[in-house]
Amino acid sequence: MNRQREKDGFQLRILCVGGRYMNSVGIDVSKGKSMIAVVRPFGGVVISPFEVRHIDSELSELAKLLKSLPGETRVVMEATGNYHAPMAWLLNDSGFYVSVVNAMLVHDYGNHSLRRAKTDKKDAIKLANYGLDHWLALLRYVPEEDARLMLKNCYRRYQQYSKVQTMLKNNLISLLDTAFPDVNRLFSSPPRADGSEKWVDFVASFWHCECICGISKKSFTAKYQKWCKKRGYHFCEDKALDIYTSACGHIGVMPKTNTAKFLVQQTVSQLRTTSVALAALKLEMQSL
Q: What are the phi and psi torsion angles at 99 (to 5°)?
A: -125, 120
What's 264's domain CATH number?
1.10.287
Last residue of a domain, one of 90, 123, 143: 143
What pLDDT is stored for residue 92 in this prediction?
92
What integer pLDDT is reported at residue 12 of this predicted model? 39
Domain count, the chain: 2
Q: What is the mean pLDDT of each run of 10 residues along the chain (288 residues)?
A: 40 50 92 92 87 90 92 92 85 93 82 60 92 93 86 93 97 95 93 94 95 94 96 94 93 92 96 96 90
Looking at the structure, tell me whether residues 34 and 86 fall in a common domain.
yes
- Measure Cα distances from 97 to 117, 131, 229, 254 in Å: 29, 11, 63, 65
pLDDT given for residue 6 in this prediction: 39
Give the pLDDT score at 10.
Answer: 37
pLDDT at 136: 92
pLDDT, position 9: 39
Considering the domain architecture, whether residues 86 and 180 belong to the same structural domain is answered as no
- Chosen domain end from 143, 160, 179: 143
139 and 11 in a common domain: yes
* pTM strictly above 0.95: no
Query: Residue 112's pLDDT is what?
Result: 54
Q: Which domain holds residue 95?
A: 2-143
Model pLDDT, residue 119: 83
**Do residues 282 and 172 both lie within one domain?**
yes
Q: Which of 99, 115, 143 is the last residue of a domain?
A: 143
* Domain identity same for 31 and 55: yes
Q: Are residues 155 and 118 in the same domain?
A: no
